[in-house]
Amino acid sequence: MNKVFMFDALREAIDEEMALSPRVCIIGEDVGHYGGSYKVTKGLHAKYGDLRVLDTPIAENSFTGMAIGAAITGLRPIVEGMNMSFLLLAFNQISNNAGMLRYTSGGNFTIPLVIRGPGGVGRQLGAEHSQRLEAYFQAIPGLKIVACSTPYNAKGLLKAAIRDDNPVIFFEHVLLYNLQENIPSTDYILPLNKAEIVRQGKDITIITYSRMRHHVIQAVNILIEQGYDPEVIDLISLKPLDINTISYSIKKTHIVLIVEECMKTGGIGSELIAQINEHSFDELDHPIMRLSSQDIPTPYNGALEKATIIHPDQIVKMVQNILSTSDTNM
């Protein structure tokens, strides 16, 4: 086992896959000589050269389209968005080409493409750099969407995404790059379509993903001291949702709380509620509750920024309220 930062785990994944196959390449702004804005590609340019670690102009629509074309020819490109918010400039390529071409070509093309980079609300990065794009991309047919949350799952999921024959949007949270964890020194991959049961429990199912996993864990530690027994699920796969794991948990707890950094309106939580109602409505003893970010552009001001997202104390209070209400109704 090696203790590594998340950015090191991601770099290891890319390095190992590039060494394994000459078809794997990485494309983006400052990924080469500079080593990436968050050092995920540091040292790869010296090892693999200009043609496989390609620095691009500031032209997201163009280089994303180039990567899609490269994928059609049999390469396995990794596009790094310096900030995932910038990929809104490539939305046409991601939607009309990456998501569709396998289908509109009658299966003649596969699109083995990974689009990855930092996203989420950082610390005073301003509205344009603090967007949560998972809800934008969720509506696009043909894409897989993954959100890593630890160094261990970051490496295993990124290796799986690179090997997949479909386009994968791979979200890394900007505030998790310096998270450290012991990970295996041997090769491993993780499934792209499975949620992780972070903690088994019987009182309530808390569903979360990305950075909010760590806020939920902080809250759960407090709740355990108070005698509660929550179950925690990290979605990991945002599309498709692992509804089987979620449904199995609800059969035990019968109560659901969703905690997300995404916006409340049209967010991942909205889709979760719809699917849980479709698959597990009869198992619910309480309305599904959710804690989501405010439906406003993220302020630059630190105090206002903090007020827009969910924190552990809010999770603790919500669980207490839900379970006290549930006990009263039973």
Q: What are the residue numbers of the active site?
A: 60, 129
Q: How far apart, in whole angstroms, are the C-alpha atoms of residue 37 and residue 239?
A: 27
Residues 288/267, Cβ–Cβ less than 8 Å: no
CB-neighbour burial class of residue 156 (10 A; exposed 0-12, middle 13-18, buried 19+): buried
Alpha helices in the chain (DSSP H): 6-20, 44-48, 60-72, 91-92, 101-104, 134-138, 151-163, 212-225, 243-253, 268-280, 302-308, 312-329
Sign of CA dihedral 18, 67, 105, 99: positive
Q: How many residues does the chain have?
A: 330
Sign of CA dihedral 17, 21, 26, 32: positive
What is the token pair recorded at 298? Answer: 């993220």
Least Cα distance to 212 among 226, 201, 194, 198 occurs for 198
CA angle 261, 265, 267 (to 5 degrees): 50
